[in-house]
Structure 1
């Protein structure tokens, strides 16, 4: 097989097969005996992709191709699975056993499990023309909403011309822009000239004091992104502390300097 075929096989077939059911057996990756068995399989794919000599260290191949060590991949996969199952109510987080993976990052989330509603046959939405032709024939409220996520934090805004409503909300920094948008819509439902005003109000919400922060759960994707960053940091730290593979380390450093990247690239 060629390098491209080997790379696809690693990403689409070999990797998922090796990591299947990782939530059940991830604790085995803490033992070198079991980890080495999986490393040998992943190494064969890395050698095939690069065409490297058999004497090339596995850590060097992983660094060159940007592939994390198999034990870190397994723990990341298990952590994501645990977060998803806890969020959907199908597993209880514990401080021991298989479910302890990623325990420090398992918080209350807004994750909802999709459910099928067979009794719903059709769904219709009002288009722009429907609004124009029907707005004068029915009682309605024109409410504009917006969400904003900036370096200073996350906020949501709500604006209505009649009756006049101007509201800004401070949201937790971990909230996504999608959560901010949905939060504003939900507030509007509780109660469209002016969309620019809603945008201003959302940005004002970012600047509100922290003690006025609304209680919004963290999105599941945000938790998984934090777990990915944690595992990436572990992989980079392991490489920096490697005493061998000096030729690869020097080459990587020169590459980073040439391309203006950090030493962790």
Structure 2
């Protein structure tokens, strides 16, 4: 620091024996202290700080000699906070024009030559702390906001280390209930890790995911997953972490961080809550990375921001299996709908049967529609047919064997664009007719339901004619696509692994069927060691 001086609200006599000379060239060379015997220790070489009363204003000046270079102003504000200055005047900042600027809790008033000054030879700045209702905002190096610890450099080192340490402590608490041949089953440990530990570690991943590539942070994250793998398998301490991860179907934790960050970005982007800029900077890079791989998913997605819709002009009825029929009065239009997705063709379809109108419809929905979407689409299409039909009399009863679709139509909150559209179609015919959407047990010999199921299977075996996706991409399908992409990335990491030579000879990659078998196998081996233990299998 070139020079700092303080101005106290007392008169200063250059000839007074109670004066203290400040180092450097300054407009104020001497300053009077309340007690000449009380002098604070040097906090910076060459700078003497004088004790002040609470009602005094602490002012300093600094010949900074340019703050054009990146990071210079940050250092000035940090030093101002460390010395507890109220007002700091800077000379030779070499900024152009004049104005007001806010940064890191301080307000900067600057004045310089016009923008035609290409040499940046002039300019002064006055920095004052920001106050709210006469309360000065304190500058700190770290702060926790919404569960994420932010540091002044946004490196998230503290957050990652704290979350990793908390996860390890939690695992050690669980480890007290696990032994080599007793304690919690491996499947239960697997569930605890996936459902409790991982969400804690990956919280807020969309903010700090770009730091997970750093080796130091990767080591912290790997310690968590290694401890969980040792607890699940009971392996020796020398077992390679990467080999245990592949055998248990776990991706390296830094890849899991990217996956969770992409899912969080997708949810915020689909709900129009993403505020990150498109520039390639820090966490906002997730947008460029995601759009380059999943552009089709964002072109037409079903997820919307949660809406509360109270307008409902139809009734939802979910009866008992033995008493599912709805009491009707003549004339009533009874309809049956169903949705299907074939694992052989990986296609989805919907079927509609309206005996009174003589309508039998089979709809192909392509390869990206889920079973839930097929069921809701069938109900919406059935309501559209009834609305456009010539016969507009009597009540309407639409039967479906999907309770998930009925519960989605019954709820007040809506997060699916397709469900919202279906509700609108039902409300449109409910303005003039009494509409009931009811549940019918599937595969119980109900003629209309069996016919609708057959039409849905026909639609699921027919290729969709037109551009995919036929329906907006659901959140579950999108997460499935992201999961597959990250699994391929984990597979490449395993193939490029230079160590684990013996493990790679036996294990070629992640296999979830093998993972389920191994977890059951481990349990059976434990049961053999203790015959009196329960030997039932573990389902993951």
Question: TM > 0.5 between the two?
Answer: yes
Q: CA deviation at 1:7?
A: 5.2
Pair 1:25-2:208 in alignment:
yes
Aligned to 1:223: 478
After TM superposition, the structure 1 = structure 2 runs for residues 80-159 of structure 1, keeping only pairs within 5 Å, are 80-91=263-274, 94=278, 96=280, 97-100=284-287, 101-103=289-291, 104-105=293-294, 106-107=297-298, 108-115=300-307, 125=317, 127=319, 131=325, 134-135=327-328, 137-150=329-342, 151-152=344-345, 153-159=347-353
Pair 1:38-2:221 in alignment:
yes
Q: CA deviation at 1:6?
A: 6.5
Q: CA deviation at 1:183?
A: 0.5
Q: 1:216 to 1:117 in 2, by over 3 A?
A: closer
Give the secondary structure class of the aligned counterpart of 1:67. coil
Give the secondary structure class of the aligned counterpart of 2:505. helix
Q: What is the CA–CA distance in structure 2 between the aligned matches of 1:225 and 1:250, rounded to whole Å?
A: 29
Deviations 1:127-181 (A, max 9, x none): 486855x32x243211121222223322212121111112222213100111111
Aligned to 1:244: 499
Calculate the TM-score normalised by the size of structure 2: 0.41
Q: Aligned-pair RMSD on alpha carbons?
A: 3.4
Q: What is the CA–CA distance in structure 2 between the aligned matches of 1:200 and 1:43, rounded to whole Å?
A: 49
Q: CA deviation at 1:188?
A: 0.9
* Bigger relative contact order (CA 8 A; separation at least 6): 1
Moved more, 198-207 or 95-104: 95-104
Aligned to 1:178: 372
Higher strand proportion, which one?
2
Q: Name stretches of at least 5 consecutive residues in structure 1 with no aligned partner.
A: 260-265
Q: CA deviation at 1:25?
A: 0.8
Give the secondary structure class of the aligned counterpart of 2:333. coil
Q: Name stretches of at least 5 consecutive residues in structure 2 with no aligned partner.
A: 1-174, 387-398, 400-446, 515-540
Q: 1:214 to 1:21 in 2, by over 3 A?
A: closer
Calculate the TM-score normalised by the size of structure 1: 0.78
Q: 1:53 to 1:214 in 2, by over 3 A?
A: closer
Deviations 1:33-63 (A, max 9, x none): 3322322343344345545454433222323
Q: CA deviation at 1:186?
A: 0.4
Higher helix proportion, which one?
1
Q: 1:224 to 1:95 in 2, by over 3 A?
A: farther
Aligned to 2:458: 204
Aligned to 1:160: 354
User: What is the aligned counterpart of 1:69 among 237, 252, 273?
Assistant: 252
The structure with the largest alpha-carbon Rg is: 2
Aligned to 2:381: 187
The number of equivalent residue pairs is 251
Give the secondary structure class of the aligned counterpart of 2:498. coil
Give the secondary structure class of the aligned counterpart of 1:142. strand
